[in-house]
Amino acid sequence: MGRMDARKFFRSFRYAAKGIVRTARTEQNFRFHLAAGTAVVIAGALTGLSAAEWSVILLLIAGMLSLELMNTAVERVVDKASPEWHPLAGQAKDAAAAAVLIYAAASAVIGCVVFLPKWWNLFN
Ligand SMILES: Nc1ncnc2c1ncn2[C@@H]1O[C@H](COP(=O)(O)OP(=O)(O)OP(=O)(O)O)[C@@H](O)[C@H]1O
């Protein structure tokens, strides 16, 4: 403890990168949100957003991807802890899935609030 261990620090980056690559390979929902996030960033660059709008959009994208990763973590832990069918295992997965759904719905609404007025003005 005390002095920072640089090797340990970079190793944890490698583990995190591994988590992203593995999840992208196995989870279709994560791939969808990666593609959607990329599309939104391109749309934002083409449309033109303020610093505050970029901050909100990037937070939403990062939050969405982070939640998908946490959802995958919950699924993996549940499958390891309870390979058999159990109500608690189902509840844990359902709660994690609900967290993703709520955030995705809010992101979609906020995305419309940010983008639609700008596009509306473009064509009027
Ligand atoms: N061990 C279990 N016991 C009880 N219910 C389970 C169990 N595993 C899964 N379920 C139920 O099935 C649902 C789907 O679980 P699953 O792990 O297949 O997630 P998924 O949403 O299909 O994930 P993926 O992102 O891998 O497609 C869960 O939300 C839960 O309701």
Residue 122's pLDDT is what?
87
Q: What percent of the chain stands above pLDDT 70?
A: 98
Nearest residue by C-alpha to atom 10 in ligand 1:
90
Q: Are 105 and 60 in contact (CB under 8 A)?
A: no
User: Which residue type sits at 77?
Assistant: V
- Residue 91 — pLDDT band, cuts 50, 70, 90? very high
Q: Are 64 and 107 in contact (CB under 8 A)?
A: yes
Q: Using one digit for the tens of pLDDT, what is the confidence trace for 23-32?
A: 999 999 999 9
Q: Using one digit for the tens of pLDDT, what is the confidence trace for 93-114?
A: 999 999 999 999 999 999 999 9
Nearest residue by C-alpha to atom 18 in ligand 1:
75
Residue 54's pLDDT is what?
98
Q: Which atom of ligand 1 is nearest to the CA of 28?
A: 25
Q: Which atom of ligand 1 is nearest to the CA of 97?
A: 29
Distances (CA, A) of 81 to 35, 44, 65, 77, 97: 31, 42, 24, 6, 18
Residue 1's pLDDT is what?
54
Q: What percent of the chain stands above pLDDT 90?
A: 89
CA atoms within 13 A on the CB side of 83: 1
pTM: 0.91
User: Which residue type sits at 28?
Assistant: Q
Nearest residue by C-alpha to atom 27 in ligand 1:
27
Q: Are 89 and 78 in contact (CB under 8 A)?
A: yes
Mean pLDDT, all residues of the chain: 96
Which domains are present in the chain?
Answer: 6-122 (1.10.287.3610)
Catalytic positions, written as ranges: 68
Separation of alpha carbons 84 and 117, rounded Å: 50
Q: Which atom of ligand 1 is nearest to the CA of 72?
A: 25
Q: Are 69 and 19 in contact (CB under 8 A)?
A: yes
Pocket of ligand 1 (CB under 6 A): 27, 29, 75, 82, 85-86, 89-90, 93-94, 97
